[in-house]
Amino acid sequence: MPQYALELCDLSRHFQLKNGVFSAPTTLKAVDGVSLRIPPGETLGLVGESGCGKSTLAKMILGLLPPTDGSVLVNDQVISNGNRFALAKQLQPIFQDPYSSLNPRKTIRQIISLPLQLHKVGDKRSQQASVKQMSDLVGLPERLLDQYPGQLSGGQRQRVAIARALILKPSILVCDEPTSALDVSVQAQILNLLMDLKQELGLTYLFISHNLGVVEHLVDRVAVMYRGKLVEQGTREDIFRNAQHPYTQALLSSVLTPEPSLGLPELLDDSAWANAS
């Protein structure tokens, strides 16, 4: 067993922004020196407000965006652009939007079996058996397999995305806001499914969310991101009961704030930042 399912070492992604024809470009540090480790079987929640760099971090882990600096290790192996194909057997994404992540012109059966075809796993017959087994596992009725994504509900589409992600039997899932595009009533079903699958298949999760309520119920550890940096990491209990960093405290109190107009900037006290590490 690897020591770490996922390890990020001083990972950065900077973007050069052009501010007009005559002015010099400025650098946006979307992700800036992030280091974290997830042992096999653990669920790490990565939280932070919109724009703090969560998706940029996920794209680098998935090999979709090259880092400016630093490295990503999956099951103790360094990932580079050259081995993205091999990476798919170890690590798979589940994205926010099950509407745009499924090809509308393919049947559900074709969508779920495509990774097996691309990776030449088994013959046609065994591939179809795997599709059936995987759709049972994610609670997708067999009658839906010959339909198209447009004929399915949001929750059913996300089950398809999960089946497709699991068909190559990866050990790690990177879930980027996997329920935020779904109706509230369906969100809990999908979250429960992800947790059941974790138990059954012994998966490791990086669970990215701006929703602390979701994270609190799912994760073993939490990493808090603010403006491209990790400001605090700890166990779920550490973070939810005894947060040390003022940003984490502000993020937690913003969930509970009785006054919705009071956003994070108001809750953050600049003087507290001066003393924070």
Ligand X SMILES: Nc1ncnc2c1ncn2[C@@H]1O[C@H](COP(=O)(O)OP(=O)(O)OP(=O)(O)O)[C@@H](O)[C@H]1O
The residues binding ligand X (CB under 6 A) are: 15, 28, 30, 48, 50-56, 210
Closer residue to ligand X, CB minimum distance, 170 or 228: 228
Shortest Å distance, C-beta 241 to ligand X: 25
**Largest separation between any pair of C-alpha atoms in the chain:** 65
Alpha carbon distances (Å) from 186 to 203, 216, 256: 22, 18, 23
Which of 150, 271, 14 has its CA nearest to residue 160? 150
Q: Which of residues 140 and 250 has its CB atom nearest to ligand X in the complex?
A: 250
User: Whose structure tokens read 């990177």?
Assistant: 174
Q: Which two tokens stand for residue 244?
A: 């040390």
| 3-state percent helix, strand, coil for the chain, nearest multiple of 5 | 40, 25, 35
| Nearest residue (CB) to ligand X, 28 versus 73 | 28
Q: How many angstroms separate the CA atoms of 88 and 15, rounded?
A: 26
Q: Which is nearer to ligand X, 50 or 199 (CB)?
A: 50
Cβ atoms of residues 179 and 187 within 8 Å: yes
Of residues 52 and 162, the one with the C-beta less far from ligand X: 52
Rounded CA gap, 78 and 109, in Å? 33
Q: Of 180, 188, 207, nearest to 43 (Cα)? A: 207
